[in-house]
Amino acid sequence: MAIATINPATGETLKTFEPLNDAEIAAKLDLAGQAFEHYRWTSFTERSHWLQKAADILEQEKADFAKLMTLEMGKPYKAAIAEAEKCALVCRYYAEHAPGFLADVPVKTDGSHSFVRYQPLGVILAVMPWNFPFWQVFRFVAPTLMAGNVGLLKHASNVPQCALAIEDIITRAGFPPGVFQTLLIGAAKVADLMADDRVKAATLTGSEPAGASLAAASGKQLKKTVLELGGSDPFIVLASADIEAAVVAATTARMLNNGQSCIAAKRFIVAEAIADKFEKLLLNKFLALKVGDPMQPDTDLGPLATPDILQDLDQQVQAAVASGGKVLTGGEPVSDRPGNFYPPTIITDIPQDSPIAQEEFFGPVALVFRVPDLDAAIKLANATPFGLGASAWTTNDQERDRLIAEIAAGSVFINGLVKSDPRLPFGGIKRSGYGRELSIQGIHEFVNVKTVWVK
């Protein structure tokens, strides 16, 4: 795959990049290894200062970074601004909390003095996706660098300028040379990186096949991985719910990032008693969305990131219709303008046991299912190989408690849309991956948890 900036709103190739050759990759690995030997002994005070400076840069130049994100992958400009702000937030969070998260933990034993110490591992490889080109990287960068590790970024090939901009932010923030580097390389080079002794662990956010490939390469080398993969998140609305509030959140949750988010609500599971009202309100919301130039402030839905994503989504929609699904709105690519545009789409009446009902739709397509009761809602929510997030709407305490206990997912949000928050661990189960990012759990993923016993 070419490493290039291709504007998804127009199809125009704006800039191309030559991938690093083997000698250039080796030089960057050498620099990373050397940087770690010094950086690991820097103080939390120094690291915090540099990370706070990175947050300053993100906030001060968010308009420029947002334009770059929108240009390369098509998210609405207003969403890109919010993404830059969130990156600053995670930097400040770990700058403040990492010293406490990584402090020695005393433990009473038969020794005179015992404790747990957290120490950095070394060079950590991050394989990151295009859909949140800054946020996905900074939620790795902030805990990784605060822990004393150094980072190598293999970003998606369609967001090279975002990848280079992030390295520049870290450099300008004052971090020592080599502590964070961007590698403009193709996916075929990842296995070789994992085989290099200087790379100690890896994290990947992306598709199931990409995660399986990295896990296999890491397994051969006995190196740890954290994987955050796909999702087909349920959005459950029960009869006791505030339906109007649920519909507003449902629209936001499905259209987030032009529908291209692993934690976007994808399967809307609605109690039969309120299904007619929910569908009518949801249809009205979808029809009111403005599709267009993502740089314009009033645009709600921009283009999909690549022509392949557009084609794949359209094929899934056609398969859903062929299985018995009914399209309420949308259902085919926008043909009256250039770019990778797909309209807001609602599909109902898909048989719950059809293969297409379990797939992840990565775009602005909502699948609506009707269920008779709570038991059926939970069963359908769990009837997927994924287990990332789930949103459920109810004002009944007993229903709430069952939903929390019985939904198989890495996170359950009651009466709110699923979102990542630096204060809460983020990740999935089943084929949505393993390990956690963010919060204290995230910073503990890539450290040596060292037992110390003294007598």
Which ranges of 187-324 does DSSP label H, i.e. alpha helix?
190-195, 208-221, 243-255, 272-287, 307-322
State in Å, rounded, how far the first CA of the chain is from the last one: 58
The Cα 184–Cα 182 span in angstroms is 6
- Spatial CB neighbours of 70, under 8 Å, sequence gap ≥ 6: 76, 77, 80, 294, 295, 302
Q: Give, as one character, the DSSP assignment of residue 18.
A: P
Tokens found for residue 163: 């990848």
Residue that has been written with the tokens 């919060």 in this structure: 439
The CA angle 326-332-336, to the nearest 5 degrees, is 145
Which ranges of 256-373 does DSSP label H, i.e. alpha helix?
272-287, 307-322
Q: 398-406, long-range: CB within 8 Å, 24+ apart, which pairs? A: 399/238, 399/240, 399/374, 402/374, 402/378, 403/236, 403/374, 403/378, 406/378, 406/382
Q: Look at residues 380, 388, 391, 389 and name the one whose alpha carbon lies nearest to residue 414.
A: 391
- Spatial CB neighbours of 57, under 8 Å, sequence gap ≥ 6: 169, 172, 173
- What are the backbone angles phi and psi of residue 376, rounded to the nearest 5°? -65, -35
Active-site residue flag, 399: no
Active-site residue flag, 167: no
Q: Give, as one character, the DSSP assignment of residue 390.
A: E
H or E element, residue 99: helix 77-101
- Identify the active-site residue in 262, 359, 360, 437: 262
The Cα 409–Cα 162 span in angstroms is 31
Tokens found for residue 448: 């040596």
- Identify the active-site residue in 83, 91, 162, 228: 228
CA dihedral 72, 73, 76, 78 (to 10 degrees): -60
- Helix, strand, or coil (residue 209): helix
The Cα 69–Cα 159 span in angstroms is 8
Residues with a known catalytic role: 228, 262
